[in-house]
A and B are shown apart, each in its own frame.
Chain A
Amino acid sequence: AQTVTQSQPEMSVQEAETVTLSCTYDTSESDYYLFWYKQPPSRQMILVIRQEAYKQQNATENRFSVNFQKAAKSFSLKISDSQLGDAAMYFCAYIRAGTYKYIFGTGTRLKVLA
């Protein structure tokens, strides 16, 4: 069975600094997708970034980028120039291609310090 592990329950970063959130996953599949979702307090979960496993190039969305290491089954999220609005729970998710069921990690709570 596929699993997703986020080993950092909580992280803190100073405003304007860079932080990296870790995610590892376990799968025997070769075709899959990985996502980072952000869940602000009492607000809905929104997509931050997604990565197709068949793509070697790491995905980037403005201040957010990933370090996708397929062989190591690692998918970390880097947030550059952190802003107060980045404070939230961040969830890593996996989905096998051709299916519809996300498997989520337990989340990392990010605090941004002014």
Chain B
Amino acid sequence: DTGVSQDPRHKITKRGQNVTFRCDPISEHNRLYWYRQTLGQGPEFLTYFQNEAQLEKSRLLSDRFSAERPKGSFSTLEIQRTEQGDSAMYLCASSSLDSLTVDTQYFGPGTRLTVL
């Protein structure tokens, strides 16, 4: 078990370009989450997958954002036509469904996006 991994760790792009981030969850975890963290703030929920199904999207996730989790394994988060306001740390987390207690989410190192 190597934990949650994210790639790339850093991404610098020009406004208007598309970017894609990848998250590999802990292997036995069936739940996967994306959060966004801006400077001086705590992480904010973006979206949630249970297996391959995307069950919730935050209003923070505009039409330019799309997330997938094919086959319920890794996930990708794509941002189209990036804007400077998209600059943030994008965090991925995973957890294992436990009917007795709430999941504890395990976080990856994040992808820091800078939009010039």
Contact = CB atoms under 8 A, between A and B. Distances in A.
B102 A95 contact: yes
Contacts of A43: 109
Interface string B82-110: 00000000010001000001111111111
Nearest to A97: B102
A102 B43 contact: yes
B69 interface: no
Interface in A1-49: 4, 33, 35, 37, 43-47
B40 A102 contact: no
B56 A101 contact: yes
B42 A106 contact: yes
Interface residues of A, number: 25
A91 interface: yes
Interface in A40-69: 43-47, 50, 52
A100 B109 contact: no
Interface residues of B, number: 25
Nearest to B102: A33
A93 B103 CA distance: 13
B104 A102 contact: no
B26 interface: no
A106 B40 contact: yes
Given A44-B108, A47-B104, A52-B101, A100 B48 contact: yes
B48 A101 contact: yes
Contacts of A33: 101-102
Interface of A: 4, 33, 35, 37, 43-47, 50, 52, 91, 93, 95, 97-107
